[in-house]
Chains A and B, each alone.
Chain A
């Protein structure tokens, strides 16, 4: 009970209510941290996309809903690629995506084998830069689908066509990224290495590669995305199998579920690879940045 001199003081809460208020406040803080976290932002975006997709699918007869698309994909897993019996390996989804992935990997082998050394040479030696700059520009300027058509004309319906397409289309981009990365190697660290007479291989391993890591990873990431798309285009135009060919056949049949289903499979594969492989390599290459402010790390309380 308040005394006569405490007119302005609110009545005191009983002790049990104070603890409850504190627990409620703490719970609200935790909820706020979750709602405002990075994970919440990602999932909000994903769920929003699915909801918008569902809404458009309900309103349009040319756009399958997420449920229709998912059902189609399940059916594709149950449709055999060869023979009459589908297994976990012998089905349309696994076999066709395996072929597309295989062609992309083969193409990327050449992209990396040529792109990184050439980019480094162009960034290090003025003669290499003078010699190859125009060739790289031609490679960048010619659209990928033109390369896809040309390679089908030259190599027919073989695995060479998509591999060649990836190699000629994606290499120039990687070369440019690597060249820029080479030019950005800090001069003062090169001078320090020179003063201490550090051997070339040591310099390459501990100075050049880590310094270029960001540019190389960004270039490889872009090249993979471009290469994957180019393999799909090549398959669309002229190969008898692969994810691109499957998309084409469902498109030709005016089957929207099929086209959407294969589009989703194509998207999911690249997302899984990018998140599961490229992003991890990127994080490992830059772990030295740690939790220093300014390097895009999460702030406290954001999940």
Chain B
């Protein structure tokens, strides 16, 4: 398990052309999570969720602010990352894809095999990714993430490209695996229902990459999307989104822009 602490994280990207302002993906995110927790980060498209995940993983660096990721023992945390697309090495077998990310002492078929069993892919070890369906490839991605025994597991809309039935199955499997493995999980999604089903806490980001709300989800596991309590919670959160949109309309983006430009100058 891990501690993740973000303080006033800002991320700006260079403008597409010289006469345009910088693109501000995150405008000062404050966030903390630790222990066995499953936190979903939800928000409209373009609010900076994936950017935040990339900063946590080290793929991107923040323009300002700080990110601290530590293991429970205070040492460097190991990360696992499930991307939106599987990102498997197409020229390596399923087994070799898991072995690729292992430290030296764990680079063996015997070590990674149980993780393939965990996601129901026994028997597919020697196959190449091109021979697998999208859902199966994503399972390999999940197995890969768990196989490094991460202190912090990052998941970026991992089921968004799957059909509804496969996605439902994968969510239930993920719940089961999380219960077994007891990880710290940061899960990005734009699907409120998915967030309510999986998480014990939901962070809502608004346009411009700012914190908007932090909502605990105190429902018993396992949860199904058809549970009435889940549906009720979903409705509450959707109301929060409506409040956010209303506030955004009040602020009128055209008037807000000069203030944002001053902040980024």
Task: Count residues on chain A whose CB falls below 8 Å from chain B CBs.
Answer: 20
Contact B128 A188 (CB under 8 A): no
Contact B59 A288 (CB under 8 A): no
* In the bound complex, CA of A202 to CA of B87 (Å): 16
Within 8 A of B (CB), among A182-215: 188-189, 191-192, 194-198, 202, 206-207, 210-211, 213
Min C-beta distance of A184 to chain B, whole Å: 13
Within 8 A of B (CB), among A204-233: 206-207, 210-211, 213
Contact B130 A202 (CB under 8 A): no
A192-B91 in contact given A198-B101, A202-B100, A290-B131 (Cβ < 8 Å)? no
Contacts of B101 in A (CB 8 A): 196, 198
- How big is the B interface, by class? 20 to 34
Question: Interface segment, B78-86, B110-118, B165-173, B256-264?
Answer: B78-86
> With an 8 A cutoff between CB atoms, is B92 at the interface?
yes
Return the CB mask of B46-88 against A: 1 if under 8 Å, else 0: 0000000010011100000000000000000001110101010
Contact A288 B100 (CB under 8 A): no
Return the CB mask of B96-131 against A: 1 if under 8 Å, else 0: 100011000000000000000000000000001011
A290-B130 in contact given A196-B148, A198-B101, A210-B91 (Cβ < 8 Å)? yes
A288-B128 in contact given A189-B87, A196-B101, A198-B101 (Cβ < 8 Å)? yes
> With an 8 A cutoff between CB atoms, is A292 at the interface?
yes
> With an 8 A cutoff between CB atoms, is B90 at the interface?
yes
Which of B81, B90, B154 touches A288 (beta carbons < 8 Å)?
Answer: B90
Contacts of A195 in B (CB 8 A): 57-59, 79, 81, 154
Which single residue of chain A is at the shortest CB-CB distance from B60?
A: A191
* In the bound complex, CA of A194 to CA of B54 (Å): 10
> With an 8 A cutoff between CB atoms, is A289 at the interface?
yes
Which of B81, B96, B128 touches A192 (beta carbons < 8 Å)?
Answer: B81
Total cross-chain contacts (CB, 8 A)? 51
Contacts of B148 in A (CB 8 A): 196
Contact A188 B89 (CB under 8 A): no
Contact B100 A188 (CB under 8 A): no
Min C-beta distance of B232 to chain A, whole Å: 36
Which single residue of chain B is at the shortest CB-CB distance from A291?
A: B131
Contact B89 A207 (CB under 8 A): yes
Which single residue of chain A is at the shortest CB-CB distance from B154?
A: A195
Contact A206 B92 (CB under 8 A): yes
Contacts of B81 in A (CB 8 A): 192, 195-196
Contacts of B100 in A (CB 8 A): 198, 202, 206
A192-B131 in contact given A198-B101, A206-B92, A288-B92 (Cβ < 8 Å)? no
Min C-beta distance of A16 to chain B, whole Å: 47
Min C-beta distance of A158 to chain B, whole Å: 43
* In the bound complex, CA of A286 to CA of B59 (Å): 29
Which of A196, A286, A290, A292 touches B79 (beta carbons < 8 Å)?
Answer: A196
* In the bound complex, CA of A277 to CA of B89 (Å): 26
Contacts of B79 in A (CB 8 A): 195-197
Contact B130 A288 (CB under 8 A): yes
Min C-beta distance of A213 to chain B, whole Å: 8
* In the bound complex, CA of A210 to CA of B59 (Å): 22
Contacts of A288 in B (CB 8 A): 90-92, 128, 130
Contacts of A290 in B (CB 8 A): 128, 130-131
* In the bound complex, CA of A188 to CA of B88 (Å): 9
* In the bound complex, CA of A265 to CA of B79 (Å): 59
Contacts of B83 in A (CB 8 A): 188, 192
Contacts of B80 in A (CB 8 A): 196
Which single residue of chain A is at the shortest CB-CB distance from B131?
A: A290
* In the bound complex, CA of A195 to CA of B79 (Å): 7
Return the CB mask of B115-158 against A: 1 if under 8 Å, else 0: 00000000000001011000000000000000010000010000
Contacts of A189 in B (CB 8 A): 87, 89
- A196-B148, A289-B130 are known contacts; what are 5 more A-B pairs with Cβ within 8 Å? A188-B85, A191-B87, A195-B59, A202-B100, A206-B89
Residue pairs across A and B with Cβ atoms less than 8 A apart, 10 shown, are A191-B54, A192-B87, A196-B101, A197-B79, A211-B91, A213-B91, A286-B91, A288-B90, A288-B128, A290-B130
B: which residues have CB within 8 A of A?
54, 57-59, 79-81, 83, 85, 87, 89-92, 96, 100-101, 128, 130-131, 148, 154
Lowest 9 A-B CB distances belong to which pairs?
A196-B101, A210-B91, A195-B57, A192-B87, A288-B91, A195-B81, A288-B128, A191-B59, A292-B130
A: which residues have CB within 8 A of B?
188-189, 191-192, 194-198, 202, 206-207, 210-211, 213, 286, 288-290, 292
